[in-house]
């Protein structure tokens, strides 16, 4: 029987920032240069955001609270601390988990309902140690395992900005966690085992730009919260950092320099542009985007990344592109029982090259634009006619009804042989829990001749 601490620790990470980035190569012009780690530059970028403006107060300058606002955007704090219809940072967002419902707290400076009584020490202890002012631990839905890497002064700049806002009297509902997950003291054991409190240390062998990117990706950006697989206790597997993970049904993909499933085909400029715009433009001018951010990643781009200085986005791209290539860990048996090793390897390669950017690496799709293939009854019908015909003919749709004119399924009949169609269809029918018989080239040939 697993220790209760291990069970409790599976309580989510910050699912609101789950990122999805299909791997498509592109070579757009690089973003405009900006001075890294510049408070004036940060303030200028932050003015584009819809978050409440910063205002100087007490002994704090306008530049200081503007900088805190910028860092608050970099951490995407509003994503979790703003409920539908509520004011930014007022809390009350419900995070529904298998163990109950968590409600995010009000982090405006109300003394009765928010963080108005927090001292600097209380604030740092919360974000770097996961401990509330009353000494109780926070659930790791607050990404303090990443914020431990952030400099004290940067975290206090965030506090300075939040304290510049008008306090509100909104009190979020109490979280409704089922027993034994409502026993916060169990989290002390999890923190003892898995919380690394080490601050970020610059690598002297790397450039200032690389180190700035590492600081943002590993710290405030907390990219690993979604893109790193977790162990049975819900802690990040550091040896597999940024190799991809499934969060709330969305696949946050491999962010290492792997050529097949990671960022190996991206240029630094393409990646920086994607982070800034949510689109990776094609190499040829005048064409539509080769890939676009959808779902939660679109929100991250809109609410956070697009508001950052171009220099910071480029620094993040430089750091990510320098990550050693690692394959995403398998989450399914290496070879499903229906397939031979040869069919599995060839089918996986075809799927990764032609299908995964839309239907995702684990076949979960991107509803409503790209249907899931895992558990799809049409895919696993006893007679595989539908999947064969779709691969042969494609699935064009009325562009006015699609997400964009570029989101349509192409025909593979003119570029794949009967054997390749059969191999790809067999791979799809036997993976991610699907359990259907393989397809033969003769079946493909018969349907191809029917038109």
Which of 287, 321, 355 is the last residue before a domain boundary? 321
The answer to whether position 331 is within a domain reads no
Whether the pLDDT of residue 419 is over 90: the answer is yes
- Comparing CA positions, the residue from 254, 139, 252, 235 lying closest to residue 185 is 139
Residue the block writes with tokens 């542009």: 273
pTM of structure: 0.62
128-158 pLDDT tens trace: 999 999 999 988 888 888 889 999 999 999 9
CA 185 to chain centre: 29
The answer to whether position 66 is within a domain reads yes
Total domains present in the chain: 2
Specify the pLDDT at position 95: 81
Q: Are residues 55 and 180 in the same domain?
A: yes
Question: Within a 10 A sphere around the Cβ of 284, how many other Cβ atoms?
Answer: 7
Q: Where are the alpha helices (DSSP H) in 235-355?
A: 268-277, 295-303, 310-321, 341-354
Q: Are residues 315 and 372 in the same domain?
A: no
Whether the pLDDT of residue 380 is over 60: the answer is yes
Question: Within a 10 A sphere around the Cβ of 339, how many other Cβ atoms?
Answer: 20
- The counts of H helices and E strands in the chain are 18, 7
Q: Are residues 55 and 156 in the same domain?
A: yes
The answer to whether position 264 is within a domain reads yes
183-240 pLDDT tens trace: 888 888 877 887 888 888 899 999 999 999 999 988 988 887 777 777 766 677 777 7
Element (H, E) at 180: none
Q: Are residues 23 and 127 in the same domain?
A: yes
The answer to whether position 333 is within a domain reads no
Q: Are residues 306 and 398 in the same domain?
A: no
Range of the structural domain that residue 438 is part of: 341-449
Residue 271 CA to residue 275 CA, distance in Å, equals 6
The answer to whether position 334 is within a domain reads no
322-339 pLDDT tens trace: 888 776 555 545 688 888
Q: Are residues 202 and 148 in the same domain?
A: yes
Whether the pLDDT of residue 13 is over 90: the answer is no
Q: Are residues 243 and 271 in the same domain?
A: yes
CATH number for the domain that contains residue 410: 1.10.760.10
Q: Are residues 312 and 406 in the same domain?
A: no
The answer to whether position 332 is within a domain reads no
Q: Are residues 280 and 425 in the same domain?
A: no
The answer to whether position 123 is within a domain reads yes
Q: Are residues 307 and 350 in the same domain?
A: no
The answer to whether position 330 is within a domain reads no
Q: Are residues 221 and 352 in the same domain?
A: no
Is residue 282 very low, low, confident or very high in pLDDT (cuts 50, 70, 90)? low
Q: Are residues 66 and 153 in the same domain?
A: yes
């Amino acid at each position: 029987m697993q220790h209760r601490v291990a069970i409790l620790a599976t309580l989510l990470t910050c699912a609101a920032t789950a990122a999805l980035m299909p791997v498509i190569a592109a070579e757009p012009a690089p973003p405009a240069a900006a001075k890294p780690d510049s408070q004036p530059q940060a303030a200028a970028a932050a003015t584009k955001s819809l978050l409440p403006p910063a205002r100087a107060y007490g002994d704090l300058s306008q530049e200081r609270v503007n900088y805190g606002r910028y860092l608050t955007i970099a951490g995407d704090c509003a994503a979790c601390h703003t409920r539908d219809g509520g004011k930014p940072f007022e809390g009350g967002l419900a995070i529904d988990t298998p163990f109950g419902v968590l409600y995010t707290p009000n982090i405006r400076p109300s003394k009765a309902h928010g963080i108005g009584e927090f001292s600097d020490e209380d604030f740092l202890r919360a974000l770097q140690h996961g401990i509330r002012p009353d000494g109780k631990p926070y659930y790791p839905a607050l990404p303090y395992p990443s914020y431990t890497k952030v400099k004290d002064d940067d975290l206090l700049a965030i506090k300075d900005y939040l304290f510049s806002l008008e306090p509100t009297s909104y009190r979020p509902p109490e979280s409704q966690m089922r027993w034994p997950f409502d026993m916060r003291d169990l989290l002390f054991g999890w923190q003892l085992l898995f919380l690394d409190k080490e601050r970020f240390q610059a690598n002297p062998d790397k450039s200032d730009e690389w180190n700035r990117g590492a600081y943002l990706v590993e710290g405030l950006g907390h990219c690993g919260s979604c893109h790193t697989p977790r162990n049975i206790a819900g802690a990040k597997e550091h040896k597999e950092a940024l190799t991809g993970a499934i969060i709330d049904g969305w696949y946050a993909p491999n962010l290492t320099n792997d050529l097949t499933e990671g960022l190996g085909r991206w240029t630094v400029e393409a990646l920086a542009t994607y982070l800034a715009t949510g689109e990776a433009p094609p190499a040829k001018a005048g064409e539509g985007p080769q890939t676009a951010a959808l779902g939660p990643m679109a929100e991250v781009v809109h609410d956070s990344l697009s508001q950052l200085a171009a220099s910071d986005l480029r620094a993040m791209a430089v750091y990510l592109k320098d990550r050693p290539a690692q394959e995403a860990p398998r989450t399914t048996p290496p070879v499903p029982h229906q397939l031979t090793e040869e069919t599995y390897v060839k089918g996986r390669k075809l799927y990764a090259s032609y299908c995964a950017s839309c239907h995702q690496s684990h076949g979960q799709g991107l509803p409503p634009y790209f249907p899931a293939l895992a558990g799809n009854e049409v895919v696993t019908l006893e007679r595989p006619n539908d999947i064969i015909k779709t691969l042969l003919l494609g699935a064009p749709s009325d562009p006015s009804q699609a997400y964009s004119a570029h989101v349509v399924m192409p025909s593979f009949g003119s570029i794949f042989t009967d054997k390749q169609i059969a191999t790809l269809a067999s791979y799809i029918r036997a993976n991610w829990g699907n359990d259907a018989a393989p397809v033969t080239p003769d079946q493909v040939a018969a349907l191809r001749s029917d038109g």
